[in-house]
Amino acid sequence: MTKSKIGTMEAIMLVLTIIITHTISALPREILVSTKSATIINLIFVSILAILFSYLIVRLMKNFVGCDLIDISEYLGGKVFKNIVGIIFIAYFLFSSSILLRNFCESIKIIYYPMTNIIFIIAFFVLAVCSANRLDFNASLKTNLLIVPLVLASILFLFFANMNNFTPQRAFPIFGDGLFHTFVLGLGNLASFGGICFLYFLPPYLKEPEKLKKIALVSIVLSAIYLMLCVATLLFMFSFFINTNEITPLYNATRYIEFGSFFQRLESIFLLIWILAYACYLSITSKFAMNIFKKLTHIETKKPLIDIFGLLIFGIALLPKNYAISDQFETEIYPYLVLGITFCLGFSVLILASLMKKKSKKLSANTEHL
Amino acid sequence: MNKIVRNLFIFILIIAFLIAFSSSYLSLSMDNLAYVLVIGIDKGTDNNLEVSFQFSTTSKSTESGSTEKTPTVMDTVTAPSLSTAINLMDGYMGKELNLSHCKVIIFSEELAQEGISEEIYTLINDTQIRPSSNIVISKCNAKFYMEQTSPELENLISKYYEIFTNSSKYTGLKPNATIGDFFNAIICKTCEPVAILGGISTEKPENQGNNHIQENYNVKSNQTPIEGENGSENIGVATFKDDKLVGELCALETTTYLALRNRLDRFLVSIPDPDDVNSYVDIYLYPDGNTNVQVDTSTNSPYIQVKSKFTGRIYSMSNNSQYLDPEILKELSETCNKYLESVFSDYLYKTSKEFKSDINGFGRYALGNFFTTQDFDEYNWCNNYQNAFFEVKVDTSIKSSMLLTET
């Protein structure tokens, strides 16, 4: 049993995986479009909120030691409510990861495999995920522990290697489209911290559940720094991401890295690292989805689910007719899903369950007193 | 039985993946590709474009082992758009044109004056084009420019195009203008694009015969006093307003442009000798930090203060040079300051009043004066730049000469 437990570092990298995959896709562009030159200020503001939010989650989850959100929702609303919450999270994990996969595969197709049908590119990822999921729960997390630092290092490298192309003055006008856009409408950028949803499901798997607070805070701070580096790279380098839509904006930034005439065209290395990060992300989200399903249905093993979930990811990824639809999902629907499911649903369940527990504690204390 | 079915499934999958991905690999096979080194775009008849492609061919080795100058292949197609031209050329060559090694994109002056945004957007949309590909605006026909370009010191023309902008860092005679920067500047609200000014030396400068040393700094492509076998020459900057060519900068103005944009490691200037009005002193100037720019946008006429610092080393020597005397060095520094302030100021007013184009990107320094993007948009920087006033301050500190200090 202890073998399948997650270490503190593994858990931190797990939370980071979500933000990493989304920044490789359209996330930095969307943040830039929404808050323009005020993006850095907005991100600082949103990051502080995300840190507060994750701290609150940890505080509330302390009332339910060793339980995840599914257990807590069962405590709150019984089996029916537990099933509803579980299904919502399974659907959220599957849809978000599948559409993200579709978008990433579209980029790979445009850049490297123009003559290959996208079905095969998606299938390649799905097969990798199905194979990885057959291994121990920890296998993907340990691979992720290797890949995520590599991605972080690549983004740091991207930032510093492009510094000579920076125009820092692009961080002005300081308030972008105005205070309302930066601090009120810009609250939508809280959706960037979608990795927080893993915090709801981590406690039963942690080797040291008491370190959940450390995991939450470190992972959100790292996510914030990572996101700021990505967005700052684009904001300081290009004037066009605010007006022009471009797939995989960070890939565009990698094309500018040159060290003399010898070290050029480093974008392939970046893309290779990102492909590995995507495979890890898919494996982790599908594993969590399967674990929730297992919990809902009380099946003994998740082995038969591996191929079914793989096929589901494959099928959902193929649903959008074209890139426009999948991009619309990622940029217009996904943020609301994160805000609705992670920040509203999950948090509401936690608050209500905590209140319920407090009430029942009070009641039991009163009856004891009587 | 289960194992057989599983192995068979894996085998079928491997075959399917091999077939699926092989089509992409085949299309990228070197045998199926024609590598374009240079694209030249001219204005054709009936609103068509005349697009010329220069290709690399494999080098021939002689029996002695030495490598001969590699011949290049050039083909031209007339088409309504750049993408159609590429497609037609694909068919003509029997190979797919690959632009991933395209080093230079040349536009004729005539086409650039009408606007080249459509071509720039199309090229940027292409995954193969590198953002580091240079943009040249040719004073002559782009095709003629390509035909005449024959590097003297390089066997491979691709090598020449790879390094031909390297000298901009120490001569300041041409910018390293890339398509990435050009595209960025077209969309940018705080700057305007520039390109390398190219041409073929067909006419001698009007002032030839005049030994006035300063005249050598007023030359630009097409009018240089250089005689050689390189064919083409690239001296000067082609300045744009949005996507349209609006003017040209000569050698001295190009150096000024690069100095103000902090893109120079060093440059040579000839300043009047304080002791002899008829002679000049050549000084190597090294920028001492970045140019300091402050923009006041309190009125619709931006007031721009530019402060530059240089350290200098005297390069030209003659009989009776006394460059160990601090007074002489101070005098030279002051003369240099006055001279550069006048040159910088003339150049800045030229960009503002004549070109009406902020190629220096001063708009970015104005961004900090506004709280919101709407405020900045309302100020209409690009339009107000033509009303700008400049104050230039140059602080030069000439340290010494080089090996000889006194003669």
The confidence score (pLDDT) of residue A2 equals 43
Facing A117 at nearest CB: one of B20, B375, B376: B20
- % residues pLDDT > 70 (chain A): 96
Nearest CA-CA partner of A94 in A142, A129, A63, A141 = A129
Q: Which of residues 210-229 of B touch A (CB under 8 A)?
A: none
Q: Encode pLDDT of B179-221 as tens digits.
A: 999 999 998 888 999 999 988 876 555 554 445 555 556 776 6
The mean pLDDT value for B156-160 works out to 81
- % residues pLDDT > 90 (chain A): 38
The mean pLDDT value for A260-270 works out to 81
Contacts of B20 in chain A (CB under 8 A): 116-117, 120
pLDDT of B120 over the 80 cut: yes
Q: Is B5 in CB contact (< 8 Å) with chain A?
A: no
- Phi-psi category of B355—alpha, beta or left, where left has phi over 0 and alpha has psi -120 to 50? alpha
Q: Is B364 in CB contact (< 8 Å) with chain A?
A: yes
CA B308 – CA A197 distance, rounded (Å): 53
CA–CA–CA angle B334, B340, B341 (5° rounding): 90
Yes or no, beta carbons of A114 and B24 under 8 Å apart: yes
Judge residue A205's burial from the number of C-beta atoms within 10 Å of its C-beta, 0-12 exposed, 13-18 middle, 19 or more buried.
buried
Which has more pLDDT, A300 or B240?
Answer: B240
Distances (CA, A) of A361 to A63, A99, A354, A358: 11, 44, 10, 5
Nearest CA-CA partner of A328 in A136, A153, A103 = A103
Yes or no, beta carbons of B373 and A37 under 8 Å apart: yes
Task: Retrieve residue B13's tokens.
Answer: 């999958």
Which has more pLDDT, B354 or B65?
Answer: B354
Query: For residue A265, what is the nearest residue in chain B, using CA coordinates?
Result: B130
Q: Encode pLDDT of B53-69 as tens digits.
A: 998 776 555 555 555 66
Which has more pLDDT, B366 or B221?
Answer: B366
Q: Is A323 in CB contact (< 8 Å) with chain B?
A: no
Give me the amino acid identity at A304. P
Name the average pLDDT for chain B: 84
The mean pLDDT value for A269-275 works out to 91
Q: Is A263 in CB contact (< 8 Å) with chain B?
A: no
**Band of pLDDT at residue B304, cut at 50, 70 and 90:** very high
CB B135 within 8 Å of CB B182: yes
Bridge partners of B195, per DSSP, are: B238
pLDDT of A336 over the 80 cut: yes
Contacts of A115 in chain B (CB under 8 A): 23-24, 26-27
pLDDT of A113 over the 90 cut: no
CA A339 – CA B23 distance, rounded (Å): 42
The mean pLDDT value for A205-212 works out to 86
The confidence score (pLDDT) of residue B209 equals 47
Yes or no, beta carbons of A172 and B23 under 8 Å apart: no
**Band of pLDDT at residue B406, cut at 50, 70 and 90:** low
pLDDT of A61 over the 50 cut: yes
CB B14 within 8 Å of CB A105: no
The confidence score (pLDDT) of residue B310 equals 92
**Band of pLDDT at residue A1, cut at 50, 70 and 90:** very low
Task: Retrieve residue B181's tokens.
Answer: 């920067």
Nearest CA-CA partner of B236 in B208, B213, B205 = B205
**Band of pLDDT at residue A299, cut at 50, 70 and 90:** confident
3-class DSSP state of B91: helix
CB A201 within 8 Å of CB A212: no
Q: Encode pLDDT of B75-114 as tens digits.
A: 999 999 999 999 999 898 888 888 988 999 999 999 999 9
CA B259 – CA B256 distance, rounded (Å): 5
CA A28 – CA A43 distance, rounded (Å): 11
Q: Which of residues 124-163 of B touch A (CB under 8 A)?
A: 127, 130-132, 162-163
Please state which of the ranges B118-127, B277-286, B288-297, B301-310 shows the lowest mean pLDDT: B277-286
